Structure 1
Amino acid sequence: MQKIMAGAIFLVASLTAAQAEDLRVGVDLTYPPYNYFDESNQPAGFDVELMKLIGKKSGGNVSFLDTRFENLILGVSGGQFDVIASTLYVTPARAQQIDYVPYMKTGVSIAVSASGGQSFAKPEELCGKRVGSIKGAAWIPELEKLNETACAGNPIDSREFPTSPEATQAVMSGGVDAQLENSAVLADASVKLNGRLKVTSTEQLYPVIVGFGVKKGNEQLATFLRETLAGLEGDADYEALFSKYGVAKSTEAEFKDAIAQ
Protein backbone atom coordinates (compact mmCIF):
# COMPACT_ATOMS: atom_id res chain seq x y z
CA MET A 1 0.00 0.00 0.00
CA GLN A 2 2.84 2.38 0.85
CA LYS A 3 4.42 1.66 -2.54
CA ILE A 4 1.12 2.45 -4.27
CA MET A 5 0.74 5.72 -2.35
CA ALA A 6 4.34 6.72 -3.12
CA GLY A 7 3.78 5.99 -6.80
CA ALA A 8 0.59 8.06 -6.81
CA ILE A 9 2.35 11.00 -5.14
CA PHE A 10 5.19 10.81 -7.67
CA LEU A 11 2.69 10.75 -10.57
CA VAL A 12 0.81 13.78 -9.28
CA ALA A 13 4.07 15.68 -8.81
CA SER A 14 5.18 14.80 -12.35
CA LEU A 15 1.88 15.92 -13.84
CA THR A 16 1.99 19.18 -11.90
CA ALA A 17 5.51 19.89 -13.17
CA ALA A 18 4.42 19.20 -16.75
CA GLN A 19 1.33 21.38 -16.45
CA ALA A 20 2.87 24.63 -15.21
CA GLU A 21 6.20 26.31 -15.84
CA ASP A 22 7.01 30.00 -15.42
CA LEU A 23 9.22 30.92 -18.35
CA ARG A 24 11.56 33.81 -19.00
CA VAL A 25 11.94 33.94 -22.77
CA GLY A 26 14.88 35.44 -24.66
CA VAL A 27 13.78 36.81 -28.04
CA ASP A 28 15.12 39.26 -30.63
CA LEU A 29 12.13 41.56 -31.17
CA THR A 30 13.53 43.10 -34.36
CA TYR A 31 12.52 40.14 -36.53
CA PRO A 32 8.97 40.47 -37.91
CA PRO A 33 6.77 38.56 -38.58
CA TYR A 34 8.25 36.08 -36.09
CA ASN A 35 9.21 38.48 -33.29
CA TYR A 36 8.60 42.23 -32.99
CA PHE A 37 6.96 45.00 -30.97
CA ASP A 38 3.39 45.75 -32.05
CA GLU A 39 1.73 49.17 -32.21
CA SER A 40 1.15 49.04 -28.46
CA ASN A 41 4.87 48.34 -27.90
CA GLN A 42 4.08 44.79 -26.80
CA PRO A 43 5.93 41.63 -27.93
CA ALA A 44 4.21 40.01 -30.92
CA GLY A 45 4.81 37.52 -33.73
CA PHE A 46 4.83 33.77 -34.26
CA ASP A 47 7.35 32.79 -31.57
CA VAL A 48 5.78 35.17 -29.05
CA GLU A 49 2.28 33.83 -29.74
CA LEU A 50 3.51 30.25 -29.50
CA MET A 51 5.15 30.86 -26.12
CA LYS A 52 2.03 32.62 -24.84
CA LEU A 53 -0.04 29.64 -25.99
CA ILE A 54 2.30 27.26 -24.15
CA GLY A 55 1.88 29.38 -21.01
CA LYS A 56 -1.89 29.51 -21.41
CA LYS A 57 -2.31 25.78 -21.95
CA SER A 58 0.11 24.77 -19.19
CA GLY A 59 -0.97 27.37 -16.62
CA GLY A 60 2.45 29.03 -16.39
CA ASN A 61 3.49 32.66 -16.70
CA VAL A 62 5.57 33.83 -19.68
CA SER A 63 7.71 36.97 -19.83
CA PHE A 64 9.90 38.21 -22.68
CA LEU A 65 13.38 39.75 -22.66
CA ASP A 66 14.34 41.56 -25.88
CA THR A 67 17.86 40.36 -26.72
CA ARG A 68 19.91 40.77 -29.89
CA PHE A 69 20.21 37.53 -31.81
CA GLU A 70 23.98 37.15 -31.44
CA ASN A 71 23.62 37.21 -27.63
CA LEU A 72 20.79 34.70 -27.25
CA ILE A 73 22.86 31.55 -26.69
CA LEU A 74 25.15 33.38 -24.28
CA GLY A 75 22.08 34.66 -22.42
CA VAL A 76 20.35 31.31 -21.95
CA SER A 77 23.64 29.64 -21.01
CA GLY A 78 24.28 32.33 -18.41
CA GLY A 79 20.81 32.12 -16.88
CA GLN A 80 19.56 35.53 -18.03
CA PHE A 81 16.44 33.74 -19.28
CA ASP A 82 15.17 30.15 -19.41
CA VAL A 83 14.51 29.54 -23.08
CA ILE A 84 15.30 31.02 -26.48
CA ALA A 85 12.22 31.40 -28.69
CA SER A 86 13.54 33.50 -31.56
CA THR A 87 13.42 31.56 -34.85
CA LEU A 88 16.69 29.89 -33.86
CA TYR A 89 17.85 27.66 -36.70
CA VAL A 90 19.11 24.22 -35.69
CA THR A 91 22.78 23.65 -36.53
CA PRO A 92 25.28 21.02 -35.31
CA ALA A 93 27.53 23.78 -33.92
CA ARG A 94 24.73 25.32 -31.86
CA ALA A 95 23.65 21.87 -30.67
CA GLN A 96 27.04 21.65 -28.95
CA GLN A 97 26.20 24.79 -26.94
CA ILE A 98 22.51 24.38 -26.11
CA ASP A 99 19.78 21.74 -26.07
CA TYR A 100 17.12 22.10 -28.75
CA VAL A 101 13.38 21.45 -28.77
CA PRO A 102 12.36 21.61 -32.47
CA TYR A 103 8.97 22.98 -33.49
CA MET A 104 9.06 24.47 -37.01
CA LYS A 105 10.75 24.38 -40.41
CA THR A 106 11.35 27.21 -42.85
CA GLY A 107 13.94 28.50 -45.34
CA VAL A 108 15.91 31.44 -46.71
CA SER A 109 15.45 33.83 -49.64
CA ILE A 110 17.47 36.50 -51.45
CA ALA A 111 16.22 40.08 -51.74
CA VAL A 112 17.47 43.20 -53.53
CA SER A 113 16.43 46.81 -53.93
CA ALA A 114 13.78 46.92 -56.65
CA SER A 115 15.38 50.06 -58.09
CA GLY A 116 18.86 48.52 -58.32
CA GLY A 117 18.22 46.41 -61.40
CA GLN A 118 19.86 43.30 -59.95
CA SER A 119 18.35 39.84 -59.57
CA PHE A 120 19.76 36.72 -57.93
CA ALA A 121 17.93 33.40 -57.96
CA LYS A 122 20.60 31.25 -56.31
CA PRO A 123 23.45 31.84 -53.84
CA GLU A 124 25.98 30.86 -56.54
CA GLU A 125 24.98 34.03 -58.40
CA LEU A 126 26.22 36.17 -55.51
CA CYS A 127 29.90 35.65 -56.29
CA GLY A 128 31.69 39.02 -56.14
CA LYS A 129 28.67 40.71 -54.54
CA ARG A 130 28.21 42.37 -51.16
CA VAL A 131 25.68 40.33 -49.18
CA GLY A 132 24.07 41.47 -45.93
CA SER A 133 22.85 39.13 -43.17
CA ILE A 134 21.84 39.36 -39.54
CA LYS A 135 24.87 38.71 -37.34
CA GLY A 136 25.35 35.06 -36.45
CA ALA A 137 22.92 33.77 -39.10
CA ALA A 138 23.04 30.02 -39.74
CA TRP A 139 23.53 30.45 -43.49
CA ILE A 140 26.74 32.49 -43.24
CA PRO A 141 28.90 29.32 -43.14
CA GLU A 142 27.18 28.31 -46.39
CA LEU A 143 28.43 31.52 -48.00
CA GLU A 144 31.90 30.75 -46.68
CA LYS A 145 31.70 27.33 -48.35
CA LEU A 146 30.81 29.01 -51.64
CA ASN A 147 33.90 31.20 -51.31
CA GLU A 148 35.96 28.01 -51.19
CA THR A 149 34.20 26.44 -54.19
CA ALA A 150 32.01 28.17 -56.78
CA CYS A 151 33.09 31.69 -55.76
CA ALA A 152 36.77 30.92 -55.06
CA GLY A 153 38.00 33.26 -57.80
CA ASN A 154 35.46 35.98 -57.07
CA PRO A 155 34.39 35.67 -53.40
CA ILE A 156 31.20 36.90 -51.80
CA ASP A 157 31.73 39.91 -49.54
CA SER A 158 29.60 38.72 -46.60
CA ARG A 159 28.64 41.51 -44.21
CA GLU A 160 26.86 41.04 -40.89
CA PHE A 161 24.48 43.49 -39.21
CA PRO A 162 23.14 43.56 -35.62
CA THR A 163 19.53 43.24 -36.80
CA SER A 164 17.69 42.13 -39.92
CA PRO A 165 16.13 45.61 -40.50
CA GLU A 166 19.63 47.09 -40.54
CA ALA A 167 20.65 44.60 -43.23
CA THR A 168 17.52 45.56 -45.20
CA GLN A 169 18.36 49.23 -44.79
CA ALA A 170 21.83 48.52 -46.21
CA VAL A 171 20.23 46.93 -49.29
CA MET A 172 17.91 49.88 -49.78
CA SER A 173 20.74 52.42 -49.44
CA GLY A 174 23.09 50.54 -51.77
CA GLY A 175 25.48 49.55 -49.00
CA VAL A 176 25.13 45.90 -50.03
CA ASP A 177 23.89 44.30 -53.25
CA ALA A 178 21.61 41.71 -51.70
CA GLN A 179 20.25 40.41 -48.42
CA LEU A 180 19.96 36.78 -47.34
CA GLU A 181 17.23 36.28 -44.76
CA ASN A 182 14.39 34.04 -43.66
CA SER A 183 11.76 33.89 -46.40
CA ALA A 184 8.85 35.08 -44.25
CA VAL A 185 10.92 37.95 -42.84
CA LEU A 186 11.80 39.21 -46.33
CA ALA A 187 8.21 38.82 -47.53
CA ASP A 188 7.03 40.90 -44.57
CA ALA A 189 9.68 43.57 -45.20
CA SER A 190 8.75 43.74 -48.89
CA VAL A 191 5.11 44.43 -48.03
CA LYS A 192 6.03 47.10 -45.50
CA LEU A 193 8.35 48.76 -48.03
CA ASN A 194 5.62 48.72 -50.70
CA GLY A 195 7.63 46.46 -53.00
CA ARG A 196 10.79 48.56 -52.94
CA LEU A 197 12.50 45.48 -51.50
CA LYS A 198 12.18 42.64 -54.00
CA VAL A 199 12.60 38.91 -53.34
CA THR A 200 14.38 37.47 -56.39
CA SER A 201 15.07 33.85 -55.43
CA THR A 202 12.48 31.46 -56.80
CA GLU A 203 12.62 28.74 -54.13
CA GLN A 204 13.42 28.47 -50.45
CA LEU A 205 17.17 28.13 -49.95
CA TYR A 206 18.91 26.22 -47.18
CA PRO A 207 15.75 24.62 -45.69
CA VAL A 208 16.13 24.64 -41.93
CA ILE A 209 14.60 23.34 -38.74
CA VAL A 210 13.82 25.86 -35.98
CA GLY A 211 13.89 25.05 -32.30
CA PHE A 212 13.62 26.45 -28.81
CA GLY A 213 16.99 26.61 -27.09
CA VAL A 214 17.57 25.77 -23.42
CA LYS A 215 20.72 25.65 -21.32
CA LYS A 216 22.80 22.56 -21.97
CA GLY A 217 21.73 19.82 -19.59
CA ASN A 218 18.43 21.43 -18.53
CA GLU A 219 16.49 18.26 -19.33
CA GLN A 220 13.58 19.15 -17.04
CA LEU A 221 12.72 22.25 -19.08
CA ALA A 222 13.41 20.54 -22.40
CA THR A 223 11.08 17.71 -21.42
CA PHE A 224 8.39 20.16 -20.31
CA LEU A 225 8.53 21.94 -23.68
CA ARG A 226 8.48 18.69 -25.68
CA GLU A 227 5.53 17.31 -23.71
CA THR A 228 3.60 20.57 -23.91
CA LEU A 229 4.08 20.79 -27.69
CA ALA A 230 3.01 17.16 -28.07
CA GLY A 231 -0.09 17.91 -26.01
CA LEU A 232 -0.97 20.83 -28.29
CA GLU A 233 -1.22 18.63 -31.40
CA GLY A 234 -4.72 19.02 -32.79
CA ASP A 235 -5.49 22.03 -30.60
CA ALA A 236 -7.41 24.60 -32.67
CA ASP A 237 -5.36 27.59 -31.50
CA TYR A 238 -2.09 25.75 -32.12
CA GLU A 239 -3.02 24.64 -35.64
CA ALA A 240 -4.34 28.11 -36.50
CA LEU A 241 -1.04 29.70 -35.46
CA PHE A 242 0.96 27.68 -38.00
CA SER A 243 -1.61 28.43 -40.68
CA LYS A 244 -1.59 32.16 -39.87
CA TYR A 245 2.16 32.49 -40.42
CA GLY A 246 2.45 30.00 -43.27
CA VAL A 247 5.05 27.78 -41.60
CA ALA A 248 5.21 24.01 -41.19
CA LYS A 249 5.92 21.74 -38.25
CA SER A 250 9.20 19.86 -38.14
CA THR A 251 9.60 16.10 -37.74
CA GLU A 252 11.97 14.19 -35.47
CA ALA A 253 13.78 12.80 -38.54
CA GLU A 254 14.31 16.29 -39.94
CA PHE A 255 15.66 17.45 -36.60
CA LYS A 256 18.15 14.57 -36.41
CA ASP A 257 19.32 15.36 -39.93
CA ALA A 258 19.80 19.02 -38.95
CA ILE A 259 22.07 18.14 -36.03
CA ALA A 260 23.82 15.45 -38.10
CA GLN A 261 22.72 12.49 -35.98
Structure 2
Amino acid sequence: MKAHIFPKSALKGLSHTIRIAAAILPLFMAAHADIAAAAGTVTSENLQIGADLTYPPYDYLDNGTPAGFDPAFMGRLATHLKLKPSFVDTRFANLILGVNANRFDVIASALYVTPERAKQIDFLPYLKTGGSLLALSGAGFAPRTPEDLCGKRVSSIKGASWIPKLADVSSKVCVPAGRGAIDVREFETSPEAAQAVLSHAVDAQFEDSAVAQITANRLGGRVAITSTAPLYPVVIGLGVKKGNDALLSQLKTALASMKSSGEYAALLKQYNVAEPTGGDIALALGSAQK
Protein backbone atom coordinates (compact mmCIF):
# COMPACT_ATOMS: atom_id res chain seq x y z
CA MET A 1 0.00 0.00 0.00
CA LYS A 2 1.29 3.44 -0.89
CA ALA A 3 1.97 5.66 2.09
CA HIS A 4 0.14 8.98 2.28
CA ILE A 5 2.39 11.98 1.80
CA PHE A 6 1.28 15.23 3.47
CA PRO A 7 2.41 18.61 2.20
CA LYS A 8 4.98 20.35 4.38
CA SER A 9 2.48 23.12 5.16
CA ALA A 10 0.02 20.54 6.50
CA LEU A 11 2.71 18.89 8.63
CA LYS A 12 3.69 22.28 10.01
CA GLY A 13 0.09 23.03 10.93
CA LEU A 14 -0.35 19.60 12.50
CA SER A 15 2.81 20.08 14.57
CA HIS A 16 1.54 23.44 15.77
CA THR A 17 -1.80 21.90 16.78
CA ILE A 18 -0.06 19.12 18.71
CA ARG A 19 2.05 21.64 20.61
CA ILE A 20 -1.05 23.62 21.59
CA ALA A 21 -2.84 20.45 22.71
CA ALA A 22 0.19 19.39 24.76
CA ALA A 23 0.20 22.76 26.49
CA ILE A 24 -3.53 22.79 27.19
CA LEU A 25 -3.90 19.18 28.38
CA PRO A 26 -2.04 19.61 31.71
CA LEU A 27 -4.10 22.74 32.45
CA PHE A 28 -7.30 20.86 31.73
CA MET A 29 -6.24 17.94 33.92
CA ALA A 30 -5.24 20.26 36.77
CA ALA A 31 -8.56 22.09 36.58
CA HIS A 32 -10.42 18.78 36.55
CA ALA A 33 -8.43 17.60 39.58
CA ASP A 34 -9.19 20.82 41.44
CA ILE A 35 -12.91 20.43 40.75
CA ALA A 36 -12.86 16.84 41.97
CA ALA A 37 -10.88 17.77 45.09
CA ALA A 38 -13.14 20.71 45.86
CA ALA A 39 -16.12 18.38 45.74
CA GLY A 40 -14.60 16.58 48.74
CA THR A 41 -16.89 13.96 50.20
CA VAL A 42 -19.64 14.64 47.66
CA THR A 43 -18.16 12.17 45.18
CA SER A 44 -15.51 10.33 47.22
CA GLU A 45 -15.68 7.33 49.52
CA ASN A 46 -12.83 8.74 51.61
CA LEU A 47 -12.69 11.69 53.99
CA GLN A 48 -9.24 13.28 53.64
CA ILE A 49 -8.22 14.85 56.96
CA GLY A 50 -5.35 17.27 57.48
CA ALA A 51 -3.67 16.96 60.89
CA ASP A 52 -0.31 17.69 62.48
CA LEU A 53 0.43 14.24 63.89
CA THR A 54 3.13 15.48 66.27
CA TYR A 55 0.76 16.90 68.88
CA PRO A 56 -0.27 14.41 71.59
CA PRO A 57 -2.81 13.90 73.09
CA TYR A 58 -4.79 15.46 70.23
CA ASP A 59 -2.90 14.15 67.20
CA TYR A 60 0.05 11.76 67.02
CA LEU A 61 1.30 8.50 65.55
CA ASP A 62 1.15 5.29 67.58
CA ASN A 63 3.25 2.69 65.76
CA GLY A 64 2.50 4.48 62.51
CA THR A 65 -1.25 4.75 63.14
CA PRO A 66 -2.94 8.13 63.78
CA ALA A 67 -4.03 8.33 67.43
CA GLY A 68 -5.35 10.86 69.92
CA PHE A 69 -8.54 12.88 70.32
CA ASP A 70 -8.86 14.06 66.72
CA PRO A 71 -8.30 10.66 65.05
CA ALA A 72 -10.75 9.08 67.51
CA PHE A 73 -13.28 11.86 66.96
CA MET A 74 -12.91 11.86 63.18
CA GLY A 75 -13.08 8.06 63.05
CA ARG A 76 -16.49 8.16 64.71
CA LEU A 77 -17.60 11.15 62.64
CA ALA A 78 -16.60 9.40 59.41
CA THR A 79 -18.63 6.36 60.43
CA HIS A 80 -21.73 8.53 60.67
CA LEU A 81 -20.85 9.95 57.25
CA LYS A 82 -20.35 6.41 55.90
CA LEU A 83 -16.87 7.41 54.73
CA LYS A 84 -13.38 6.06 55.33
CA PRO A 85 -11.10 8.51 57.22
CA SER A 86 -7.64 9.09 55.77
CA PHE A 87 -5.11 11.34 57.54
CA VAL A 88 -2.65 13.61 55.73
CA ASP A 89 0.18 14.45 58.15
CA THR A 90 0.76 18.19 57.72
CA ARG A 91 2.71 20.65 59.87
CA PHE A 92 0.44 22.96 61.80
CA ALA A 93 1.44 26.20 60.06
CA ASN A 94 0.48 24.68 56.67
CA LEU A 95 -2.96 23.31 57.55
CA ILE A 96 -5.09 26.23 56.37
CA LEU A 97 -3.03 26.53 53.21
CA GLY A 98 -3.52 22.80 52.62
CA VAL A 99 -7.30 22.73 52.95
CA ASN A 100 -7.60 25.82 50.74
CA ALA A 101 -5.40 24.11 48.13
CA ASN A 102 -7.69 21.02 48.19
CA ARG A 103 -4.95 18.75 49.56
CA PHE A 104 -7.51 17.40 52.02
CA ASP A 105 -11.20 17.94 52.83
CA VAL A 106 -11.11 19.04 56.44
CA ILE A 107 -8.69 20.13 59.16
CA ALA A 108 -8.93 18.23 62.46
CA SER A 109 -5.83 19.23 64.40
CA ALA A 110 -6.63 21.12 67.63
CA LEU A 111 -7.09 24.22 65.48
CA TYR A 112 -8.16 27.16 67.65
CA VAL A 113 -11.07 29.24 66.35
CA THR A 114 -10.00 32.86 65.87
CA PRO A 115 -11.52 35.77 63.93
CA GLU A 116 -8.45 35.88 61.69
CA ARG A 117 -8.69 32.21 60.78
CA ALA A 118 -12.46 32.45 60.32
CA LYS A 119 -11.82 34.87 57.47
CA GLN A 120 -9.83 32.16 55.68
CA ILE A 121 -11.86 29.01 56.38
CA ASP A 122 -15.24 27.94 57.78
CA PHE A 123 -15.29 26.39 61.25
CA LEU A 124 -17.33 23.70 62.95
CA PRO A 125 -16.49 24.16 66.68
CA TYR A 126 -16.33 20.86 68.56
CA LEU A 127 -14.43 21.34 71.85
CA LYS A 128 -12.99 23.87 74.31
CA THR A 129 -9.61 23.99 76.05
CA GLY A 130 -7.07 26.53 77.35
CA GLY A 131 -3.35 27.21 77.67
CA SER A 132 -0.71 26.36 80.30
CA LEU A 133 2.84 27.39 81.10
CA LEU A 134 5.63 24.82 81.52
CA ALA A 135 9.04 25.41 83.11
CA LEU A 136 11.94 23.32 84.37
CA SER A 137 11.22 21.73 87.73
CA GLY A 138 13.25 23.28 90.52
CA ALA A 139 14.77 25.94 88.27
CA GLY A 140 13.42 28.80 90.36
CA PHE A 141 11.26 30.26 87.59
CA ALA A 142 7.61 29.30 87.85
CA PRO A 143 5.45 31.66 85.76
CA ARG A 144 1.74 31.64 86.53
CA THR A 145 0.47 34.29 84.11
CA PRO A 146 1.54 35.76 80.76
CA GLU A 147 2.70 38.88 82.62
CA ASP A 148 5.27 36.72 84.45
CA LEU A 149 6.97 36.13 81.08
CA CYS A 150 8.24 39.71 80.74
CA GLY A 151 11.94 39.67 79.85
CA LYS A 152 11.90 35.88 79.35
CA ARG A 153 12.34 33.51 76.40
CA VAL A 154 9.25 31.42 75.64
CA SER A 155 8.91 28.48 73.25
CA SER A 156 5.74 27.71 71.31
CA ILE A 157 4.54 25.66 68.39
CA LYS A 158 4.70 27.75 65.24
CA GLY A 159 1.57 29.68 64.31
CA ALA A 160 -0.21 29.22 67.67
CA SER A 161 -3.07 31.61 68.42
CA TRP A 162 -1.59 32.73 71.74
CA ILE A 163 1.51 34.22 70.09
CA PRO A 164 -0.24 37.49 69.11
CA LYS A 165 -1.69 37.65 72.65
CA LEU A 166 1.77 37.33 74.18
CA ALA A 167 3.02 40.04 71.82
CA ASP A 168 0.19 42.26 73.05
CA VAL A 169 1.15 41.67 76.70
CA SER A 170 4.78 42.34 75.80
CA SER A 171 4.09 45.68 74.12
CA LYS A 172 1.40 46.94 76.50
CA VAL A 173 2.61 45.62 79.86
CA CYS A 174 6.21 44.44 79.82
CA VAL A 175 8.00 47.11 77.77
CA PRO A 176 6.24 50.16 79.28
CA ALA A 177 7.10 48.86 82.76
CA GLY A 178 10.76 48.44 81.78
CA ARG A 179 10.63 44.68 82.44
CA GLY A 180 11.82 43.63 78.99
CA ALA A 181 9.92 42.18 76.04
CA ILE A 182 8.65 38.60 75.86
CA ASP A 183 10.92 36.75 73.45
CA VAL A 184 8.72 34.12 71.76
CA ARG A 185 10.60 31.44 69.83
CA GLU A 186 8.51 29.32 67.46
CA PHE A 187 9.15 25.64 66.69
CA GLU A 188 7.63 23.31 64.10
CA THR A 189 6.41 20.83 66.73
CA SER A 190 5.45 20.84 70.40
CA PRO A 191 8.15 18.26 71.34
CA GLU A 192 10.77 20.61 69.87
CA ALA A 193 9.37 23.47 71.94
CA ALA A 194 9.60 21.27 75.06
CA GLN A 195 13.16 20.26 74.21
CA ALA A 196 14.08 23.96 74.13
CA VAL A 197 13.02 24.16 77.80
CA LEU A 198 15.07 21.08 78.71
CA SER A 199 18.17 22.44 76.98
CA HIS A 200 17.82 25.87 78.66
CA ALA A 201 17.35 27.54 75.28
CA VAL A 202 14.16 29.11 76.65
CA ASP A 203 12.81 29.83 80.13
CA ALA A 204 9.28 28.45 79.63
CA GLN A 205 6.90 26.89 77.15
CA PHE A 206 3.35 28.07 76.41
CA GLU A 207 1.19 25.11 75.40
CA ASP A 208 -2.36 23.83 75.21
CA SER A 209 -3.44 22.55 78.64
CA ALA A 210 -4.05 18.94 77.59
CA VAL A 211 -0.77 18.84 75.66
CA ALA A 212 1.09 20.43 78.58
CA GLN A 213 -0.19 17.73 80.94
CA ILE A 214 0.94 14.86 78.76
CA THR A 215 4.28 16.61 78.15
CA ALA A 216 4.93 16.88 81.89
CA ASN A 217 3.94 13.23 82.38
CA ARG A 218 6.11 11.92 79.56
CA LEU A 219 9.15 13.90 80.71
CA GLY A 220 8.95 12.29 84.13
CA GLY A 221 8.64 15.49 86.11
CA ARG A 222 11.64 17.24 84.52
CA VAL A 223 9.23 20.01 83.58
CA ALA A 224 6.13 21.11 85.47
CA ILE A 225 2.96 23.04 84.74
CA THR A 226 3.42 26.29 86.65
CA SER A 227 0.22 28.17 85.70
CA THR A 228 -2.71 27.58 88.04
CA ALA A 229 -5.66 28.33 85.75
CA PRO A 230 -6.38 27.91 82.01
CA LEU A 231 -4.86 30.82 80.09
CA TYR A 232 -6.74 32.33 77.15
CA PRO A 233 -9.59 29.73 77.10
CA VAL A 234 -10.20 28.78 73.49
CA VAL A 235 -12.61 26.97 71.22
CA ILE A 236 -11.28 24.34 68.80
CA GLY A 237 -12.94 23.70 65.46
CA LEU A 238 -12.85 21.58 62.33
CA GLY A 239 -11.76 23.68 59.36
CA VAL A 240 -13.34 23.51 55.91
CA LYS A 241 -12.55 25.49 52.78
CA LYS A 242 -14.91 28.42 52.31
CA GLY A 243 -17.56 27.56 49.75
CA ASN A 244 -17.57 23.84 50.57
CA ASP A 245 -21.02 24.15 52.11
CA ALA A 246 -22.03 20.60 51.25
CA LEU A 247 -19.24 19.10 53.34
CA LEU A 248 -19.81 21.54 56.21
CA SER A 249 -23.47 20.54 56.31
CA GLN A 250 -22.56 16.82 56.29
CA LEU A 251 -20.13 17.34 59.19
CA LYS A 252 -22.75 19.20 61.25
CA THR A 253 -25.27 16.41 60.71
CA ALA A 254 -22.72 13.75 61.68
CA LEU A 255 -21.75 15.66 64.84
CA ALA A 256 -25.42 15.90 65.84
CA SER A 257 -25.67 12.12 65.43
CA MET A 258 -22.61 11.62 67.62
CA LYS A 259 -24.15 13.78 70.33
CA SER A 260 -27.42 11.82 70.19
CA SER A 261 -25.60 8.49 70.48
CA GLY A 262 -23.54 9.57 73.51
CA GLU A 263 -20.23 8.98 71.70
CA TYR A 264 -19.33 12.65 71.77
CA ALA A 265 -19.82 13.12 75.53
CA ALA A 266 -17.81 9.97 76.28
CA LEU A 267 -14.90 11.17 74.17
CA LEU A 268 -14.87 14.62 75.80
CA LYS A 269 -14.75 12.99 79.24
CA GLN A 270 -11.94 10.64 78.20
CA TYR A 271 -9.70 13.55 77.17
CA ASN A 272 -10.78 16.01 79.89
CA VAL A 273 -12.04 18.66 77.47
CA ALA A 274 -15.44 20.33 77.18
CA GLU A 275 -18.16 21.13 74.67
CA PRO A 276 -18.14 24.83 73.76
CA THR A 277 -21.28 26.84 74.50
CA GLY A 278 -22.89 29.21 72.04
CA GLY A 279 -21.37 32.07 74.03
CA ASP A 280 -17.90 30.50 73.81
CA ILE A 281 -18.22 30.19 70.06
CA ALA A 282 -19.49 33.75 69.60
CA LEU A 283 -16.59 35.07 71.66
CA ALA A 284 -14.06 33.00 69.72
CA LEU A 285 -15.35 34.20 66.36
CA GLY A 286 -15.44 37.83 67.48
CA SER A 287 -15.61 40.29 64.63
CA ALA A 288 -15.74 37.46 62.07
CA GLN A 289 -19.27 36.72 63.25
CA LYS A 290 -20.54 40.25 62.56
Is the pair's TM-score, using the shorter chain for normalization, greater than 0.5?
A: yes
Q: Deviations over 1:47-67 (max 9, x none)?
A: 110000011222111100110
Q: Does residue 1:34 correspond to 2:58, yes or no?
A: yes
> Is the CA contact 1:21–1:58 (under 8 Å) kept in the aligned structure 2?
no
Inter-partner Cα distance in structure 2 for 1:49 and 1:67: 18
Which structure carries more helix by proportion? Answer: 2
Distance 1:179 1:225 in 2: 34
Q: Aligned equivalents of 1:23 and 1:65: distance in 2? A: 10
- Residue 138 of structure 1 pairs with residue 161 of structure 2: yes
* C-alpha contact (below 8 Å) 2:81/2:250 kept by paired residues: no
> Which segments of 5 or more consecutive residues in structure 2 lack a partner in the other structure?
1-40
Tell me, yes or no, if structure 1 residue 57 matches structure 2 residue 83.
Answer: no
Per-residue deviation, residues 128-172 of structure 1 (Å, max 9, x unmatched): 000000000000000110122111231101110011100000001
Q: Which amino acid aligns with 2:121?
A: I
Give deviations 1:25-83, integer Å, cap 9, x for gaps.
00000000000011x22000001100000112221111001100000000000000000
| Superposition deviation, residue 238 in structure 1 | 2.4
- Equivalent position of 1:251 in the other structure: 277
Q: What is the distance in 2 between the residues matched to 1:185 and 1:198?
A: 12
Q: Which runs of 5+ in 1 are unaligned?
A: 1-16
- Greater displacement, 90-99 / 219-228: 219-228
Q: What's the secondary structure of 1:76's corresponding residue?
A: helix
1:102 equivalent in alignment to 2:121: no
2:200 to 174, 185, 202: 174
Find out whether 1:74 has 2:100 as its counterpart: no
179-188 or 243-252, which deviates more: 243-252
**Distance in 1 between residues matched to 2:169 and 2:76, nearest whole Å:** 40
Partner of 2:71: 48
Between structure 1 and structure 2, the one with the greater Rg is 2
Cα distance in 2 for partners of 1:233, 1:118 equals: 43
Shift of 1:21: 6.3
Is the counterpart of residue 127 in structure 1 residue 150 in structure 2? yes
CA distance in 1, matches of 2:223, 2:56: 15
- Tell me the TM-score normalized by structure 2: 0.81
Deviation at 1:251, TM superposition (A): 2.1
Counterpart residue number, 1:164: 190
Partner of 2:23: none
Tell me the CA shift for residue 234 of structure 1: 3.5
Name the residue aligned to 1:14.
none
Identity level (%): 51
Match of 2:226 in 1: 200
Q: 199-208 or 20-29, which moves further after superposition?
A: 20-29
SS of the counterpart of 2:93? helix
Q: Name the SS of the counterpart of 1:109 in structure 2.
A: strand
- Superposed CA RMSD in Å reads 1.4
Distance 1:43 1:147 in 2: 37
Q: Does residue 1:231 correspond to 2:257, yes or no? A: yes
Q: State the secondary structure of the residue aligned to 1:233.
A: helix
In 2: Cα distance, 1:22 partner to 1:248 partner: 28
- State the alpha-carbon separation in 2 of the partners of residues 159 and 87 from structure 1: 20
In structure 1, what is the Cα distance between the partners aligned to 2:74 and 2:198?
A: 33
**Do structure 1's residue 219 and structure 2's residue 245 form an aligned pair?**
yes
One-letter amino acid matched to 2:113: V
The aligned amino acid for 2:135 is V
CA distance in 2, matches of 1:215, 1:55: 18
Give the number of aligned pairs: 243
Retained in 1: the 8 A contact 2:51–2:108?
Answer: yes
Shift of 1:116: 2.0
Residue pair 1:21, 1:55 contacting (<8 A) in 2 also: no
Distance 2:260 2:254 in 1: 12
